[in-house]
């Protein structure tokens, strides 16, 4: 009988210890949640990004991709749901004129498949280089660029850009 009492006391002590650990973990999770909420508030909403800040900027790296004609560029990210939604509209706009799709991120096969009708698709290191050169901070972002690499128009939806000039 003494062994049964000792076993019962050990099980009870183990349960109390487990409850204490559980409460400590829950308290810690609440602290982290409040930190993340403060960070999210301090960062501001994502819709505060205005791609029109890019208009008028000359980006020499873009001049390499214009081919001497105005060009529409679309910047897409692999993990971006809106990018997958906007891809068909960009393909439709791209078939009417010169366009380049820049896909950023690893395993871009699915997104490049959606963009198959675009005349030029840039991925990998070249895509990362273009994104950094233009200072793209949100995806998708669409630009209209002249032959010298000057950004004429910018938007976060294909519909915000006028129809591209016909391809030569």
Mean pLDDT score across all residues of the chain: 81
Percent with pLDDT over 90 in the chain: 17
Q: What is the mean pLDDT of residues 145-161?
A: 82
Q: Residue 92: name the closest of 134, 50, 142 by CA.
A: 142
Most confident range, picked from 19-23, 36-40, 142-146:
19-23
For the chain, the first-to-last Cα distance in angstroms comes to: 95
For 54, residues 6+ apart whose C-beta sits below 8 A from its C-beta are 134, 135, 143, 151, 154
Q: What is the mean pLDDT of residues 92-98?
A: 75
């Amino acid at each position: 009988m003494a062994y049964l009492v000792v076993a019962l006391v050990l099980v009870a002590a183990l349960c109390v210890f487990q409850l204490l650990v559980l409460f400590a973990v829950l308290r810690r999770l609440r602290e982290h949640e409040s930190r993340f909420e403060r960070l999210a508030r301090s960062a501001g909403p994502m819709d505060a990004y205005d791609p029109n800040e890019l208009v008028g900027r000359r980006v020499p790296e873009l001049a390499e991709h214009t081919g001497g004609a105005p060009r529409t560029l679309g910047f897409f990210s692999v993990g971006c749901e809106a990018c997958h939604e906007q891809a068909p509209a960009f393909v439709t706009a791209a078939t009417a004129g010169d366009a380049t799709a820049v896909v950023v991120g690893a395993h871009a096969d699915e997104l490049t498949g959606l963009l198959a009708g675009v005349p030029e698709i840039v991925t990998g290191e070249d895509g990362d280089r273009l994104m950094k050169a233009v200072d793209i901070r949100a995806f998708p972002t669409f630009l209209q660029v002249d032959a010298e690499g000057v950004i004429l128009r910018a938007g976060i939806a294909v519909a915000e850009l006028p129809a591209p000039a016909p391809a030569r």
